[in-house]
Amino acid sequence: MAKDSKEHKTKPKEVDKVKAAEKNHIQRVIAVMSGKGGVGKSSLASLLALYLKRRGYRVGILDADITGPSIPMIFGATQRPISTPEGILPVESSKGIKIMSINLLLPDRDQPVIWRGPLISKTIKQFWNDIVWGNLDVLVIDLPPGTSDASLTVMQSLPLDNIVLITTPQDLAGLIVRKAANMSKSLNIPILGLVENMSYVTCPECGAHIEVFGPSKAENTAHLIDTKFLGHVPIDTEFTTLCDEGSIESYHSEIFEEIAVKIIQIAVNDLSNSTNKERT
């Protein structure tokens, strides 16, 4: 009797997983990676999702940084995901971007996630298998910093099409992003290109570019890892304020739009000529 009872309890969960996977048709999966924390990876991943949405693509963003999730705050998402018989429905932003993050499931957003690697890896897999993403043109994945368990789980378990690397002007950031690039290459995941964040701040009086973190080395870094350099993103107090307020969807930047266009030209344009491919 005990054995039959156990089988009866586990069977519905297996059915739910199949139903969730069957409903997902995701054409392109792009991960945003830095290797190092504090370089603005999450904010640029959010901007990429936003500019793809403005171009008319169906977009989702998966916050794979389980111990340091920030995507919900950037988008001002506070509602809890809804559980259905088919799986869990992601939260939608005001502009219709689908969002999933561990912070949306916590009773208090300030509560820390004190988990060991295996549990973090399991949760990341569930965010792929048990979430009803539906029909998406692009799923943007915000990777955690580092090249260990969590990042490895995403890169080995999820069908990534491309990786966008984020760095800052300092040599240290360049060193760590080269490690991330070598990790990507060892796992045969194509690197779409490199973006330098926090490149400079514009003087409000004279318009001069002030290189707060020193001269840019990003183009040389891109050359060393044999990838395209996609552009410089300056420090913008309006952008940081909107992120803090959860109002990133009100932000407009010609500089980042040019970067987004390059990413679309390289990785996304073929979507209009391809059929939906099922990801399981």
The token pair at 51 is: 């500019």
The token pair at 155 is: 């890169």
pLDDT tens for 217-245 read: 999 999 999 999 999 999 999 999 999 99
Average pLDDT value for the chain: 88
Task: Tell me which residue of 69, 63, 61 sits closest to 113, measured CA to CA.
Answer: 69
DSSP result, 7-41:
HHHHHHHHHHHHHHHHT-EEEEEEEEE-SSTTSSH
User: Which range is least confidently modeled, 2-6, 151-155, 203-207?
Assistant: 2-6
141 touches 64 (CB < 8 A): yes
Q: What is the pLDDT of residue 19?
A: 65
Return the percentage of the chain with pLDDT > 90, whole number.
74
Q: What is the pLDDT of residue 270?
A: 61
Q: What is the pLDDT of residue 145?
A: 87
Paired sense of beta strands 162-167 and 191-202, if any: parallel
Tell me the C-alpha distance between 27 and 47, whole Å. 19
Q: What is the pLDDT of residue 267?
A: 85
Q: What is the pLDDT of residue 194?
A: 97
Burial of 39 (0-12, 13-18, 19+ CB in 10 A): buried
Q: What is the pLDDT of residue 274?
A: 46
217 touches 176 (CB < 8 A): no
User: Which range is least confidently modeled, 85-94, 111-120, 177-186?
Assistant: 111-120
Task: Tell me which residue of 215, 199, 208 sits closest to 256, measured CA to CA.
Answer: 199
Backbone angles phi, psi at 186, to 5 degrees: -65, -25
Q: What is the pLDDT of residue 231?
A: 97
Return the percentage of the chain with pLDDT > 70, whole number.
89
Instruction: Find residue 235's DSSP bridge partners.
Output: 201
Judge whether residue 162 has pLDDT over 60. yes
pTM metric for this prediction:
0.88
The token pair at 71 is: 């995507």
User: Which range is least confidently modeled, 1-5, 59-63, 99-103, 117-121?
Assistant: 1-5
> What is the sign of the dihedral through the CA atoms of 146, 151, 155 and 159?
negative
The token pair at 160 is: 């990534």
pLDDT tens for 165-192 read: 999 998 888 899 999 999 999 999 999 9
Q: What is the pLDDT of residue 222?
A: 95
Judge whether residue 148 has pLDDT over 90. no
Q: What is the pLDDT of residue 272?
A: 52
- Report the topology of domain 25-271: Rossmann fold (3.40.50)
User: Which range is least confidently modeled, 83-87, 205-209, 270-274?
Assistant: 270-274
